[in-house]
Amino acid sequence: MIFQHTLEAVLAGRKTQTRRVMKWNEVLNGDPANTEGNAVTYHADDGNPYPSAWRVKWQVGKTYAVQPARGKASVARIQITRIDAEWQGVAGISDGQAKAEGFANRAEFLQAWEAIHGANMLTAPVWVLTFKLTQNILLEQVQKDYPELLEGYSPIVPTSAGVLWDLVDMGFLTPQVEGENWDTVWNSFTPTDKWNALVSAWKATKS
């Protein structure tokens, strides 16, 4: 599963839900009327009406690879623990649900949703996948192969200036703003910037 915009929250364990826009050929447990079930299935548009033509897309209890983008290597694994359908879309999401999505509040989530999907998709039906992080592959690799870079810091959301300046000094991050204020400089980097810097630092130990 791709988490291009919320990868840090997934790896840090702050994100435990993801909403995915329903596609026309997807149903829950084979019943379009269901609002909660064990599996999302889909039917290929090949004219075959038989059950054997249905395929499972997501299933409760199964684990799935986490990718930062399409075609990128897996960096973690998650296990789906619940599947729900929200037929009215995300417009009515609560603050608590937004936090489970990895955001500070409802407003922040909706802003991100509109930026990704468009304002016209606020009421599009969505699947709500609740999950738990079962393996952080990146963390395991970095802790094993490059512990000196991350010693004393969170590997995904550093809480000190030390790891930032280490990455800058080693050429893995290039500040886009002037000054030496850690918060200002760190916040100028996108999650993708931070992700790529950590991966590059890890890869450097392999060269």
Whole-angstrom Cα distance, residue 137 to residue 144? 11
Could you tell me which residue, 35 or 17, shows the higher pLDDT?
17
Give the pLDDT confidence score for residue 156 in this predicted structure: 46
83-129 pLDDT tens trace: 999 999 999 999 999 999 999 999 999 999 999 999 999 999 999 99
**pLDDT confidence band for 28 (50 / 70 / 90):** confident
Considering only 21-25, 79-83, 111-115, 178-182, which range has the smallest mean pLDDT? 178-182
Give the pLDDT confidence score for residue 153 in this predicted structure: 47
Q: Where are the domains of the chain?
A: 7-136, 146-204
Give the pLDDT confidence score for residue 123 in this predicted structure: 97
Reported pTM = 0.72
**pLDDT confidence band for 78 (50 / 70 / 90):** very high
Give the pLDDT confidence score for residue 146 in this predicted structure: 60
Domain 7-136's class?
alpha beta
Give the pLDDT confidence score for residue 157 in this predicted structure: 45
